Structure 1
Amino acid sequence: MKNTNSNAITVQATTNAPAEKVWTYWNAPEHITKWCQASADWHAPYAENDLRPDGKFKTTMAAKDGSFSFDFEGVYTEVEPYKLISYTMADGRMVTVEFDEKDNTTTVTETFDPENTNPIEMQRGGWQAILDNFKQYAEEN
């Protein structure tokens, strides 16, 4: 189900790769651990992913200096291969990820409910940075 929250935040990147590759790199734990960080001083040392409705995912995001880490996790509500993923995060917020392939490029659009702690622009910037890391990883590998 597509996120229709009027307060939702959207980030987007177009990757020079076909949807099949983008889908695999987005969802396979061995790839997630290579791109899922917002800055060079963070990394994702662990990822698991059961990509199906009611399946769970978890990615550990951690500062490389060991000072802080957290698990980004949730449950899938909808999975349409190469097209759409919807999930609910552990804190109840909804996320929709759309994949749109045209001419051997794939646009990934993430729409997510904001949390109430950090400013909207900080949240948008963090999610966009992770998406930009994904784009770079998918194009270079």
Structure 2
Amino acid sequence: METVNNTSVTIETTVNAPIEKVWESWNKPEHITKWSHASDDWHTTYADNDLRKDGKFKTTMAAKDGSLSFDFEGVYTSVIEQELIAYTMGDGRKVKISFVSNGDGTQVIETFDPESTNPVEMQRGGWQAILDNFKKYTEANL
């Protein structure tokens, strides 16, 4: 898929947890399957993560009613422990996630290239919903 006008989208949140816990929650498959969904009628049934430059990741997201599923996957282009993750998705779009410690909390800033099939605002909303689920899960469980 092509990106839309080469315009990237940025979303962010501040998680009320130390950066070590935020990093663990973001990257360990046993946590990813608990938070990586945009709405309560979806879930992540599988996650695999080889967190290193040139490592691959894959998550399978599925509608709980079984009507639809898809794989979200890519290859890491940069990993700096507790600071930065960058990757390229299977369709060539790029994503960068920054983690910034600010005392007891951690700011997570995610920038992604949108695809050309769906409206940019819809994509922003979906990615933000997943990030909001990440915040909620991490604050409640770690």
Aligned length: 137
Displacement of 1:6 in angstroms is: 5.8
Displacement of 1:40 in angstroms is: 0.2
Find the aligned partners of 2:38 and 2:6 in 1 and give their Cα distance: 25
1:77 aligns to 2:94 (yes or no)? no
Correspondence for 1:91: 91
Q: What CA RMSD, in Å, does the superposition of the two structures yield over aligned residues?
A: 1.0
Correspondence for 1:131: 131
SS at match of 1:126: helix
Q: Which runs of 5+ in 1 are unaligned?
A: none
TM-score of the two chains, using structure 2 as the length reference: 0.95
SS at match of 2:67: coil
1:109 aligns to 2:109 (yes or no)? yes
Same amino acid, percent of matched pairs: 68
Correspondence for 1:28: 28
Q: Deviations for 1:1-43, whole angstroms, at most 9, x for unmatched residues? A: xxxx961000101000011000000000000000000000000
Find the aligned partners of 1:114 and 1:93 in 2 and give their Cα distance: 7
1:14 aligns to 2:10 (yes or no)? no
Find the aligned partners of 2:19 and 2:88 in 1 and give their Cα distance: 23
Moved over 2 A (4+): none
